[in-house]
Structure 1
Amino acid sequence: MAVINRIADFAPEMTEWRRHLHRMPELGFNCHNTAAFVVEKLQEFGVDEIHKGIATSGVVAIIKGQGRGPVIGLRADMDALPIKEATGADYASEVEGAMHACGHDGHTTMLLGAAKYLAETRNFAGKVALIFQPAEEDGGGAGVMVKEGIMDRFKIERVFALHNAPNVPVGQFVTTPGPIMAAVDTFTINVQGKGGHAAQPHNCVDPVVAACGIVTAIQTIISRNHHALNDLVVSVTQIHTGSAENIIPDSAYINGTVRSFDPEDQDMVERRLNEIVRGQAIAYGVEADLVYFRDYPPTVNDAAQTAFAAGVARQVVGDANVDDTIDREMGAEDFAYMLQARPGSYLFLGQGDGPVCHHPAFDFNDEIAPIGASYFARLVETGQPRK
């Protein structure tokens, strides 16, 4: 693997940074301590500009190259997840009920590694904008940063991001042009009946039976309303109701997620959910309200920028370790908002066998941090060569 020698030299430092960040996970937009650590390191590296407080705790840093040229954006997410850690690592989370279960500590570290190298060498034209983003997991921090004007403010022309990939071989990059990750919508259904004694159901209006009927009917959206060859997921993930075996409750709560690539599919699912909820409410004699929320859009890679990014990845890990023809997946990613604003590409970097992201035993593989940092650095040097 052609990891940049200078980055390989400070790989032990990167491990220290990453494990420090792992101990101090922060959620959502409240990544203030993480941002402070990032700013401290960026100041040590001697970057030219640091802009704080974007999307509450986001940071954008500018490094100027040699000579005039465009601005390329590199993004890393900083937030963690509300999960109790089960890694047993000596650097495990010190924050109860929160952990870096998706590797954002590693993503931040990789971008810091690239920042240190680029600030030292400046072997590129134009500028690089280093985007450290909060609230990827919940809140759409990328979209907030875009709404707050980072693309225009810093004159970013194209933008790139990287995510670790468990159970993909160490150092293997995978991506695809066009849609790579799905849009994510959420729905909640509140069912209101009339509670009472379980021995006297005739005196009640049972929301439990109604909720079961609604969930069963929802399963027909995929099986009977959607073309079988198109990608679409509708999953009910929560049903909450009741408190005891001898009480029919007053209400029930249903929650779920929709993953899609086509706005027409989103429209169809929302329409059918409304029809099902209304119809089942009438059938069971309850009241039922649906709230349908369209969240992150599909993550769509620009074809030309994906070809460029895959070519850069090949410089770092070799032809055999880059696959730019993978199938799209039904997960979601708020980097989609940045790709709506500017052309760019999203790649995955394999970190080997182990627990998947969002698992309490997940841990970022420090071995891949110099690879990711080298990739980020080569994007800049290759895409904006000195004249």
Structure 2
Amino acid sequence: MNAVDIDIDELVALRRDIHAHPEVAFDEHRTSELVAAKLRAWDIETYTGIGGTGVVGVAHGLRGKGRTIALRADMDALPMEEEGRPLHRSQRQGVFHGCGHDGHTAMLLGVARHFSRKRDFAGTVVLVFQPAEETGGGANAMLADGLEERYAYDEIYALHNMPHFPPGTFGVLDGAMLSSCDEVEILIDGVGGHGSAPEETKDPVMAAGQLICALQTVVSRTIAPSATAVLSIGSVHAGSASNVIPAHVELTGTLRTFDEGVRTLAKSRIGAICEGIAMTSECSISVAFRNSSPATINHREQAEAAAQVAVDIFGAENVLREFAPINSSEDFSEFLLRRPGAYALLGQGGVYCHHPEFDFNDDVLPLGVRFLVALAYARCAA
């Protein structure tokens, strides 16, 4: 296996700088500028403004034609407050790298640094720094901007931290890795009025109550027990006074599945239930699915290739190939719909992603860089 050239102190400093200056979806201007500046300083072919704030670096091997392998890292932070107190704590109120994208960006910069010095290979490595993963719009924005056509990669891979796995472990599945995600937005319009005269109203609160209960049958009475689906209503917005029946109610929730057939069936059933409750309540009910991402489905050959590379980095006993798919979602799934590839997990321990005290574990940075570099070498030569 090729030796990997890693400046760990520089990577840690970069990771912590990005953590201290987080930016939310499509606002990653400082982060993009930092990434592009590093790539250019390292003589990596650099393209900016891809899908808004996305950056792409291209490293050509000196041995000529080979396969083109894309490696992707997400750059955006979450719109939440950091409650931990590291020295590199977020300097922006209400914005926080609570999912480790600062670490992912730093790892891919580490890969870029290696290939700026070591180009004795055949093929091309495309480094994709993606905006707006948390909103589910960044992947499609880059694809709409011609990412595939402009860089013509054969396969694409991503590595995400996994607090549920101990540091020094690695996980990848064949097939379903992460669930799909659809934000469900239901708007109920009725006729408001005084609480003492409900007969004069078309009560959207009553309709909402019936709807919340009826929606539970989507999973329990529509989806086969052998399949997996989750439908949760997370918010109810209605009214402002105890003696007033409001005219409008808004429900929001999340739908998650691991199969596109199940996803389509669940969405159809949600629509049908809304139509039925609208008829019985005499209210108008509309449903929309927003910020949607399909399930992240790994391609078998590429997942196996990633696992084989990981054995050399982590040891066979630390490479996990059988575990339950995860109900989180990722818009990396959009890339996998169009090109072969795989999404893998890097164990890091600690609190779970999106926890207010989350922080990326810098100790696993070199492991991630070594894996991604070795994977690029292996797949370019495949």
Q: Does the 8 Å contact 2:191/2:247 carry over to 1? A: yes
Unaligned runs of 5+ in 1: none
TM-score after normalising by structure 2: 0.95
Instruction: Say yes or no: does 1:143 pair with 2:154.
Output: no
Q: Structure 2 vs 1, CA of residues 294 and 112 (structure 1 numbering), >3 Å: closer, same or farther?
A: closer
Cα distance change on mapping 1:138 and 1:346 into 2, 3 Å: same
For 1:237-269, what per-residue CA distance to the aligned partner results, in whole angstroms no more than 9, with x for missing partners?
A: 111111122322121101112112333322322
State the SS of the aligned residue for 1:341: coil
Q: How much does 1:44 deviate?
A: 2.2
Using the alignment, how far apart are the partners of 1:35 and 1:267 within structure 2?
A: 36
**Aligned residues of 2:183 and 2:254 also touching (Cα < 8 A):** yes
Q: Is 1:374 equivalent to 2:373 in the alignment?
A: no
Amino acid at match of 1:210: A
**Residue 92 (1) aligns with residue 95 (2):** no
| Structure 1 Cα separation of the partners of residues 12 and 2 of structure 2 | 16
Contact map agreement 1:176 1:327 (CA 8 A) in 2: no
Q: Which residue identity is paired with 1:6?
A: D
Q: Secondary structure at the match of 1:156?
A: coil
CA RMSD of aligned residues (A): 1.8
Task: State whether structure 2 residue 292 is matched by structure 1 residue 295.
Answer: yes
Specify which of 178, 181, 193 is matched with residue 178 of structure 2: 181
Change (3 A) 1:135 1:45: same
Contact map agreement 1:3 1:370 (CA 8 A) in 2: no
Distance 1:343 1:302 in 2: 6
In structure 2, list runs of 5 or more residues that go unmatched.
Answer: none
- Does residue 20 (structure 1) correspond to residue 17 (structure 2)? The answer is yes
Q: Distance in 1 between matches of 2:86 and 2:2?
A: 27
- 2:277 aligns with 280
Contact 1:123/1:381 (<8 A) preserved: no
Judge conservation of contact 1:160–1:345 (CA < 8 Å) in 2.
Answer: yes
Amino acid at match of 1:85: E
Select the residue among 112, 117, 129 that pairs with 2:114.
117
Counterpart in the other structure of 2:67: 70
Which has the larger displacement, 143-152 or 313-322?
143-152
Shift in Å, 1:383: 2.7
1:3 Cα shift? 11
Q: Which runs of 4+ in 1 moved over 4 A?
A: 2-5
CA contact (8 A) 1:191 1:289 kept: yes
Counterpart contact for 1:179–1:300, Cα < 8 Å: yes
- 1:361 equivalent in structure 2: 357
How far did 1:119 drift? 1.1
Contact 1:29/1:57 (CA < 8 Å) preserved in 2?
yes
1:344 to 341, 344, 348: 341
Aligned 8 A contact 1:3 1:316 in 2 = no
CA contact (8 A) 1:146 1:341 kept: no
What residue is the counterpart of 1:154 in the other structure? 151
Q: CA separation in 2, counterparts of 1:234 and 1:50?
A: 42
The aligned counterpart of 1:11 is 8
Conserved 8 A contact 2:74-2:132: yes
Q: What is the match of residue 210 of structure 2?
A: 213
